[in-house]
Amino acid sequence: MANSGWLEQYQSLGVLERVGGQFVLTVVVAIVVLGMIHRHGTDAVTKARRSPIISLCIGTPTLLVISGLTAAGYYMLGSSVGTFFGVVLIAIGFAALPTSIAIGFVAIGQGITGRLGRTKLWHGILMGGLLAGLSGVSLSATLVAVTITGTLGTGALVRILFGAGGTTSPEERTVPPANKI
């Protein structure tokens, strides 16, 4: 496998270019993701914001599996048999990872702006973009921020996509409430 050199290209950028690039990229991806999967995206942001520990616990193994499948697909591209399967695995990873990272940044941004009295979604998008941009100061800060937000977003998306209705939707209850006869 040939080295693509993306890490060296990233490190060769100036600090302001990395900060600005990560801010713009995060804001654009968040707008696209929350615009395309509007109901699930905003529900995932709300769920990640209300119960981040559960989302982190569910998101950690899920993010490891998605990252592992994407890496396996990248290594499969070198073989003749693996080209077909490698492209599919990379496509799944490139669809899931930026989506979950954007939702994680927006959830953290929404939590910060909520403490400041601003509860609109676009406030969270801009604050999440600002946090992503500020993490561009160093490579290690970027890796930590992307790992945490990716885990948070992945856990929230899994909880939204595969979760049950719960007690928030009483019309789907199977057992009548205890205080009614």
Q: Is residue 35 part of a domain?
A: no
**Based on the structure, what is the number of domains in the chain?**
1
- Token pair listed for 52: 């981040």
Q: What is the pLDDT along the chain (181 residues), one digit of tens a residue?
A: 445 677 888 888 889 999 999 999 999 999 999 999 888 889 999 999 999 999 999 999 999 999 999 999 988 887 777 788 888 999 999 999 999 999 999 999 999 999 999 889 999 999 999 999 999 999 899 999 999 999 999 999 999 988 765 555 555 555 666 665 5
What DSSP letter does each residue of 50-68 carry, written as one string?
H-HHHHHHHHHHHHHHHHH
Q: Is residue 143 part of a domain?
A: yes
State the helix-helix crossing angle for 82-115 and 52-76, rounded to 10 degrees: 150
Q: Is residue 17 part of a domain?
A: no
pLDDT of residue 179: 66
- Token pair listed for 51: 């119960």
* Residue ranges making up the domain that contains 130: 47-156
| Residue tagged 């073989």 (tokens) | 79
* Helices and strands per DSSP (H, E), number in the chain: 7, 0
